[in-house]
Structure 1
Amino acid sequence: MPLPTVAIVGRPNVGKSTLFNRLVGKRVALVDDRPGVTRDRREGEANLLGLDFRVIDTAGFEDEDPASLPGRMRQQTEAAVNEADVALFLVDAREGLTPLDEEIGRWLRASKTPVVLVANKAEGRAAESGIFEAFGLGFGDPIALSAEHGEGVADLFEAVRPHVERDPDAEEDDEANGDHQLKLAIVGRPNAGKSTLVNRMLGEDRMITGPEAGITRDSISLDWTWQGKPVRLVDTAGLRKRAKVEDKLEKLSAADTRRAIDYAEVVVLLLDATRGLEAQDLRIASQTLEEGRALIIAVNKWDVAEQASSLFNGIKAALAEGLSQLRDVPLLTVSAKTGKGIDTLLEVAFDLREAWSKRVPTGELNRWFEGAIEANPPPAPKGQRIKLRYITQVKSRPPSFVVFGNRLDELPDSYRRYLLNAMRRDLGIGPVPLRLEFRGRANPFDRARR
């Protein structure tokens, strides 16, 4: 799916190229005090606090003969706006409105492209009158911005987001049309029974199996359908401790398995019931969660497990201690040999993928946020309270959120954990990785790109 497009328009020398450079994160467009430096449309890939889009820097909009150079530049600007999902209309808050600003406003109102009005160069009191003047253009509240200093970028994010954020309904339609499968990777130590499990799922001896450890070397992707739902199964090579991996081919296989984890949506970590949980299993689980993938831990060979109840409880306790970053990771028992527990495993995998893809409506999210803060207010170091203003979800897969506020560098880790745990509990997100970042309002964009 192509990236949504944002076009930056306005009269010459209002700061369009400066904003373009800030959005793409580097000095790409030439910037100078002289008007008319930009002539062609310049395009780049931008990221604004997790929003990915294509941004177009346009030439200054001038009223000239179409055959002249300024006239041809204006035609390029018109073409950019027509193809964009949203246009950022920049005015200079320090200079105030000009007749050309008003002409551009009339032209934009006649177009079908949504418009976000931005009063640039808004730092300082000298810009206040120009910001108020911008209300008269008829595009609603102007975003007070300093593209040069990064002030107001959080407000720009909120204004642009409805126009460029991926539509979750469209993603669901893609899945319904078969364009999106559940990407399920089976990982674990050598000889845990990964290939045997894949063969049992497929109902055929698709993968070579045997008592020898390390038969599988490459990650093998297989398309499959379970109860009418498309699945892409990935069988991977066994992962041993790095210190024990000496063979070059095994090193390549291990790297291939790690790429499979990156590719997957849900990862099944397969344990061997005859060996229990080992330190390497915890390392694989931690890596999976750090990559933001949903995780299921399945204990294989359960049909031959000895003292099954105590084994299960022991593994559960070890996981609670070793995976403190995410509690209640699903722990299931299966038998690749008999097929027992496989349907339950797949049901949990699809449920986890749904939670991993969850989007919380902004209103519901902020009502929860206000309640969580009221129930347990942030601390007040040295008598000065930390102010948490609002929260927004910037993406899903995994669910990722940004909290805006001030003095956030003094917010203790315990309070951050409180918010994460309350979010999982109250919003029904469940045991999937969450991303929670904190941004100050002064200059959130620069910190977000690190």
Structure 2
Amino acid sequence: MTFTLAIVGRPNVGKSTLFNRLVGKKLALVDNQPGVTRDLREGQARLGDLRFTVIDSAGLEEATDDSLEGRMRRLTERAVEMADVCLFLIDARVGVTPTDEVFADILRRKNAHVIVAANKAEGNAGEAGYLEAYGLGLGEPVRLSGEHGEGITDLLQVLMPIADELAEQRVEETIEPETDVEVEDGDEDAAPVPTRAKPLQVAVVGRPNAGKSTLINAILGEERLLTGPEAGITRDAISLAVEWEGTPVRIFDTAGMRKKAKIDDKLEKLSVSDGLRAVKFAEVVIVLLDVNIPFEQQDLRIADLAEREGRAVVLAVNKWDLEGEKQAKLKALKTEFENLLPQLRGAPLVTVSAKTGRGLDRLHDAVMRAYEVWNRRVTTAQLNRWLAGMMEAHPPPAPGGRRIKMRYATQVKTRPPAFVVMTSYPDAVPASYSRYLVNGLREDFDMPGTPIRLTLRGQGDKNPYKNRKKKQPSKLSKHLK
């Protein structure tokens, strides 16, 4: 069976380190400074025979107002309420603090299954803190070292009976008395609704304070991610599963990306690197722009990065509810887009308001359209008819009097679409003619906005034995002759 375990505790007690240990990979950012984690991050943990969902949370602080710390606390308290089990971490080297005692009392009231663990307890330095943890009144503490993996077996022994109890509860809840169900005519023959085998991977990227987390909360229909007026709230790439307009999606919220010259903080560098990894794993990238300052230099760099990584790209202009002259602004945006990002010409550009939820249906349709184009395949017969027409309309140049012959074209892959054209003198084909062919592919096969990869190969490129020295016969083979 499966259950949900939330790791909670004060800042810098080692929650993210233990989270990474349980999921078996470095999903959460880890740094010595407190308050690195701000959002809730989920992962699939494996501990002995147990399989469960583990939640990494922001550090609990004694703030209840609308400050950043207060909003982080409310998000963590929500994780406590939605989890089946809470693992309350204290720092064994520091010992039990008054703040730990306050939150131990809160957890006792909010969650039926609370396990207290003294982390960083390796060696003699953590002995006193481990013994103090008994005084929290949450049962016998588990002695742990998330960094070194010590005490994980003890944690498993504590979790096993709780997991069994939760499994029995779920079995009882699912047993219902048999009832006669009325079936409407024709329902028994109804075809099942087709579903995607895997969720669509979507990353939302952009500059700080563009509204990425607010947009994802609007798609989720709940305040799942931390938001606010402060720039740079999101620090690591958080992935969330959601059914968006009937489409299973795993959506990644990423940290705001600033110019490299402005990034001197080690943690911000880690955050940006985490966001770049999310772009590489995504299938569709939503580049979120601020309507008040769209297409700044950093926006162009982010969009170009997504194109170079070969991702399907959708541009979304946020805070559209604040725009007064909508028609004039939209016309200006489209003109700027075509001029500043010619490599993405034809990609969807959608206006949205993450705050009000307006335009999310159009954004979903644009994402699905971009994904479909990104997966498009063209037959070799169609490509060769197209290539003949392109050469007839505009023959290849003849550098140095050598006539370039393009013999055939074929598509070698999708995601993004990639094509190979077999030609004589591939190195002599100018870049302008390659662009002519790419633009032709984009227009004639309806592939607007998606990255297209075109490779020119000579006839000898497909011969694996070209330029290989002829093997000399051995003395024995000469003798056998």
- Normalising by structure 2, we get a TM-score of 0.55
Q: Which whole-Å CA distance do the structure 1 matches of 2:340 and 2:406 have between them? A: 31
Q: Which residue of 1 aligns with 2:278?
A: 260
Question: Structure 2 residue aligned with 1:434, among 428, 452, 460?
Answer: 452
Question: Structure 1 residue aligned with 2:230, among 212, 222, 237?
Answer: 212
1:252-274 C-alpha deviation (Å, 9 max, x unpaired): 00001111111111111111112
Question: Structure 2 residue aligned with 1:286, among 304, 314, 337?
Answer: 304
Q: Which residue of 2 aligns with 1:243?
A: 261
Question: Residue type matched to 2:238 in 1?
Answer: I
Q: Which whole-Å CA distance do the structure 2 matches of 1:443 and 1:362 have between them? A: 19
1:147-192 C-alpha deviation (Å, 9 max, x unpaired): xxxxxxxxxxxxxxxxxxxxxxxxxxxx955432221111101111
Q: Which residue of 1 aligns with 2:210?
A: 192
Which secondary structure does the structure 2 equivalent of 1:206 belong to?
coil
1:306-362 C-alpha deviation (Å, 9 max, x unpaired): 433343333323222221223122211000011111110111111110110011111
Question: Residue type matched to 2:428 in 1?
Answer: E
Shift in CA distance, 418/400, structure 1 to aligned 2, threshold 3 Å: same
Say whether 1:334 aligns with 2:352.
yes
Q: Which whole-Å CA distance do the structure 2 matches of 1:441 and 1:180 have between them? A: 39
Question: Residue type matched to 1:224 in 2?
Answer: V
Question: Structure 2 residue aligned with 1:360, among 367, 378, 397?
Answer: 378
Contact residue 199 and residue 248 of structure 2 kept, 8 A: yes
Say whether 1:407 aligns with 2:405.
no
Return the offset for 1:413: 1.2
Matches within 5 A, 1:389-428: 389-428=407-446
Q: Which residue of 2 aligns with 1:370?
A: 388
Question: Residue type matched to 1:184 in 2?
Answer: V
Return the offset for 1:201: 0.5
Question: Structure 2 residue aligned with 1:298, among 300, 306, 316?
Answer: 316
Contact residue 255 and residue 272 of structure 2 kept, 8 A: yes
Say whether 1:348 aligns with 2:366.
yes
Return the offset for 1:408: 1.4
Q: After alignment, is 321-330 or 393-402 more displaced?
A: 321-330
Q: Which whole-Å CA distance do the structure 1 matches of 2:447 and 2:336 have between them? A: 23
1:61-105 C-alpha deviation (Å, 9 max, x unpaired): xxxxxxxxxxxxxxxxxxxxxxxxxxxxxxxxxxxxxxxxxxxxx
Q: Which whole-Å CA distance do the structure 1 matches of 2:279 and 2:347 have between them? A: 17
Return the offset for 1:398: 0.1
Question: Residue type matched to 2:219 in 1?
Answer: M
Question: Residue type matched to 1:341 in 2?
Answer: G
Question: Residue type matched to 1:202 in 2?
Answer: L
1:279-328 C-alpha deviation (Å, 9 max, x unpaired): 10000011110111111111100001243334333332322222122312
Question: Residue type matched to 1:251 in 2?
Answer: K
Say whether 1:224 aligns with 2:242.
yes
Q: Which residue of 2 aligns with 1:120?
A: none
Contact residue 378 and residue 386 of structure 1 kept, 8 A: yes
1:400-449 C-alpha deviation (Å, 9 max, x unpaired): 00111111111111111111111111112222000000111113478xxx
Q: Which whole-Å CA distance do the structure 1 matches of 2:302 and 2:209 have between them? A: 15
Q: Which residue of 2 aligns with 1:97?
A: none
Contact residue 348 and residue 370 of structure 2 kept, 8 A: no
Q: Which residue of 2 aligns with 1:79?
A: none
Say whether 1:387 aligns with 2:400.
no
Q: Which whole-Å CA distance do the structure 2 matches of 1:327 and 1:429 have between them? A: 10
Q: Which residue of 2 aligns with 1:13?
A: none
1:191-230 C-alpha deviation (Å, 9 max, x unpaired): 1110000001010001010111111111111111123221
Which secondary structure does the structure 1 equivalent of 2:217 belong to?
helix
Q: Which whole-Å CA distance do the structure 1 matches of 2:463 and 2:237 have between them? A: 38
1:365-395 C-alpha deviation (Å, 9 max, x unpaired): 2111122112211112233210101011110
Shift in CA distance, 257/327, structure 1 to aligned 2, threshold 3 Å: same
Q: Which whole-Å CA distance do the structure 2 matches of 1:240 and 1:335 have between them? A: 22
Q: Which whole-Å CA distance do the structure 2 matches of 1:368 and 1:176 have between them? A: 34
Q: After alignment, is 189-198 or 437-446 more displaced?
A: 437-446
Q: Which whole-Å CA distance do the structure 2 matches of 1:226 and 1:445 have between them? A: 48
Matches within 5 A, 1:20-59: none
Q: Which whole-Å CA distance do the structure 2 matches of 1:375 and 1:275 have between them? A: 42
Q: Which whole-Å CA distance do the structure 1 matches of 2:319 and 2:246 have between them? A: 27
Structure with greater Cα Rg: 2
Contact residue 334 and residue 342 of structure 1 kept, 8 A: yes
Contact residue 276 and residue 311 of structure 1 kept, 8 A: no
Structure 1, unpaired ranges of 5+: 1-174
Question: Residue type matched to 1:301 in 2?
Answer: K
Question: Residue type matched to 2:358 in 1?
Answer: K
Matches within 5 A, 1:90-105: none
Q: Which whole-Å CA distance do the structure 1 matches of 2:250 and 2:451 have between them? A: 21
Q: Which residue of 2 aligns with 1:179?
A: 197
Q: Which whole-Å CA distance do the structure 2 matches of 1:202 and 1:314 have between them? A: 31
Question: Residue type matched to 1:382 in 2?
Answer: G
Q: Which whole-Å CA distance do the structure 2 matches of 1:430 and 1:311 have between them? A: 22
Q: After alignment, is 226-235 or 282-291 more displaced?
A: 226-235
Structure 2, unpaired ranges of 5+: 1-192, 465-481
Matches within 5 A, 1:37-186: 178-186=196-204
Contact residue 182 and residue 350 of structure 1 kept, 8 A: no
